[in-house]
Structure 1
Amino acid sequence: MRLLFFNEGNLGSYVLGQAQVEATLRRYTQDLPEIETRFLGLATQGRWAHAAATWSTPALMRADLDLRLVRWHLVQSLRGRRTLTRAVAQWRPDVVHVHSHSMALGLGALMERVPTAVSVDVTLGDWAAMPAQRRTGRLAEAELVPARRAERRAFRGAALVLAWTDWVRDAVLALEPRATVAVHHPGLDLDVFRPAARRPRTLPRILFVGGRFADKGGDDLLAALGDDLGTTVELDAVTPADVAPRPGLRVHRLGPGDPELMDLRQQADLLVLPSGADAVPWAVLEAMACGVPVVGSTVGAIGDLVGDEAGVLVNFGDRAALREAVLGLLADQPRRAALGAAARARCEARFDAAVQTPALVALLAGLARSAA
């Protein structure tokens, strides 16, 4: 069976999980029998494509007339269709796997010829509705109409929609009830993301990982910690954002595969991600796999990842609840230890790439058999 994996690739410093999906698939498909794989990525946007997708003026932005959401997905889907159509004609795969699903918005004709599995971590409407970036008014709603229509067609045309969590599955089916959906997360390499011995420290350590510092709740975390930061707790913030210096705060400019970031995960007492704009954040799973409990927000699928046993969730923007959750866990080492052990166990049960990848290949093989 020939499997073609088409990946959108990372989008600057803000969306960094795409490369991890591909790396995991490459590792765990290489030794599977009876399949031949190829991996295809979308090239970085050229000057004109980037301008068409992102260019605006302050006047258009103030009037909410820049239509950036529509333009971005139009440009990416057209680029994806051109790239994938050429690759399919040259190699003739039995099944195509596409991530992310915005790349499938223009693949209607191709999906009629080749069984296509579309990987979805968040619908366009749910992403637009995230509390940290939600726009209101008729123009914002009008901009979503063509995007939702294209998304609905893609879900209906796909041989299989791979929803990363139950939250995503429910959103897909609410938008297109005729879609064929399976819940499947690509999983983590649990040989890489694993607990390690903790070094002695004077104060407990919190870890925050987020490219969009404010949207991910970084400002809320600093406010919630208040004067405790630097006196009773230390914070490691991994972000490209400019964050004003404070006692007890260390800002790190690190990429996803940096060994220093792995050490920060393994040495943290808590991962805190009180995000207002997240779908299925890798930072949460990576910390859980390292045996670190999570304080997160109720946004997106964070609750699906953490469950009832791996951490505590608070509403985005509720700084009092955030402070109570963080300081309460830092003061209760036995509970932290129990949550951390449960977090690792949850990853082993639900998010192990060594299990998830063969399960994915079995799903894709079923599509190939049905099309034969």
Structure 2
Amino acid sequence: MLQKRLVYITLFTIFFIAVGAVSVIAENQNPESCVNCHEGAARDWERGSKSEFMLCVDCHGEAHTGPGDAHLVEVPTPKDCAVCHPQEVERFEEGKHAFAWEAMLAVPTFQDMPKAATDKGCVLCHQIGYEWDDGSRGRCDSCHSRHVFSAEEAREPESCGHCHTGDHPQYEMWQSSKHGMIYAIEQDPERAPTCVTCHMPEGDHFVMTAWGFLGVRGEEPYAEWEADREKILYALNEMGPARAPEVMRETMGEWEELRAEMIDICSQCHATSYAQRDLEKSDALLREADRVNAQIVDLTNQFYEEGLIDERTRFNTFRDATANRFATYMGAFHNSPLYAWDKGFLALTSDMVYLRDDLIQEKKLDIFGGKIKQSLFLGGTALVIAVAGLLAFTVVTVKRKKKEEGSSNEKEKHDDN
């Protein structure tokens, strides 16, 4: 009888534990339970369309049940997003943003800067290409901010402006263009194009352009331009950007394909011939910027080789000139006079003039210093010769006087005899 009671008690205990476990799991799968600790995230989640057919555990797993096991929460990667968005993830991983993390690590100065600076500066934007342990690349929430994950929000220019400012200010270029001005007034993408109109047509996550981030291409059909490009690529390699992947088109075929795609996009609003001519004008300004930048590279290297500047100054000069070159051609393609001219070509040519004048000044000082040294040397030599001559004259004079005195004494002795 006692054994039966023990069996019944055991079975009832297991039953109640199982029921309790199911209740806990069910409660944890209920987004309302997440609100207790994650009020802001849960509120954003409710605002998004995904709350209509997904639960928190679909992305974060079931292991995390409370404050004591936060380390067990699963962080979704692009592989998780690809379950519902395979085409978007595939195109993203083929495009330039997927290599942003790798590009950041390729720049030598990133390793030299304090982690506190890179965490709040570089990482916040370059994490769009973060490399996950499962082999996937990207942070979808860089544009589709969590936990709303809104496509509408990601299409707004301000979403791009979060990163495309500062030392690559494409958002600011667009803002100061006629396109950006009209959009600011009317807020109508049918009236004026936004970032995604030109760079993500029909939601394509590839986001590649003909000239790429560096404004160079692997094959250059113009010999003179290629000579300047070699100097520019030399500087870009020294600084690091050219070491990153997918920063330029390797063949003219790739370049021409992406140029044709951009002309098609522009032709939705403009005549094809106008679009082609306008892009060619920007090509021409890039050519002029390269000519000036190549001279800056030559002058800077001459300063360095002659010991007039150190390695850090040389690097900073390359960097400043590169930033002004970027502003020139990117400003041109975004039709921003502010960047194509004031912050671009004018600043770039000023860099070159200042460098040239500094070098001339240093040369003048070298020549002037050389003349002083030469004068001092010649003067010193003349002085030595004069002193030596005076000494020789003195010695000869003294000897002559002694000889004359000796002769006089001999004569006096002869007369006395």
**What is the TM-score normalised by the length of structure 2?**
0.25
Larger radius of gyration: 2
Higher relative contact order (CA 8 A, sep 6+): 1
**What is the TM-score normalised by the length of structure 1?**
0.27
Higher share in helix: 2
Higher share in strand: 1
